[in-house]
Amino acid sequence: MPRPRDPKLDDQILGAVRSIMAEEGYSGLSMEAVATRAGVGKPTVYRRWPTRAHLVFAAATNDGRLDPTPDHGDLRSDLLAVLNHAATSMAANPRDAVADRIAAIISDADFSATVWAEQFDPQLDHAHKVWERAVERGEVSPDVDGRAILDDLRATLFWQVIAAHRQLSHEDVEEMLDRHLDGCELRPPTKDTSNGDAVPTSG
């Protein structure tokens, strides 16, 4: 029978990851460097975490506590604060680390499920508190799926900041939010009496 994993050895390896990241950043991190710093063989590291992305995610120092959600008294102000904080956090992450993690998420369904369960879903649940408060204040209907809207906003931010390399200003984030909150303001078409075809209204 295989021997159970030694939690102390796991902590030793993850501690080595944190120290290397603090000293050299993601570019200085390698499985070999981690193994050397931890005093173990590379196979010991690979058996636990197959890529740097898996290793760094496991070594994340987040202790599970999240910043308090903003409470400015209205949904738009609260969401602006949430989105600006998220945009700043995304931009601050090393791009090579983000690229490796996204590649691992795409190629490894189990890792993807872990990241969603341990990071993305808790973050979304936490941000959803601002929507719940808005429902309690009567700002939005309880029938609106606020969690889905927040997820859409997060995806838009990710695409703009990470994929498109845009540096979003506060005004950019504000415009993006308003597009989601205001919708398209669809209007019924009017009839062109000259030929009977419907034409869009103007103005």
Kindly tell me if the per-residue pLDDT of 38 is higher than 90: yes
The residue-averaged pLDDT of 15-19 equals 94
Read off the pTM. 0.78
Which domains does the chain carry? 7-58 (1.10.10.60), 75-182 (1.10.357.10)
Check: CB of residue 17 under 8 Å from CB of residue 45.
no
Which pLDDT belongs to residue 191?
A: 67
For 67, phi then psi, to 5°, come to -60, 145
For residue 121, is pLDDT > 90?
Answer: yes
Q: What is the pLDDT of residue 167?
A: 93
CA distance 89 to 168: 12
pLDDT value of residue 182? 86
In tens, the pLDDT along 52-69 reads 999 999 998 654 556 778
Q: Residue 203: its pLDDT value, please?
A: 47
CB 99 within 8 A of CB 56: no
Tell me what pLDDT residue 200 has: 54
In this prediction, residue 69 carries a pLDDT of 87
CA atoms within 13 A on the CB side of 187: 9
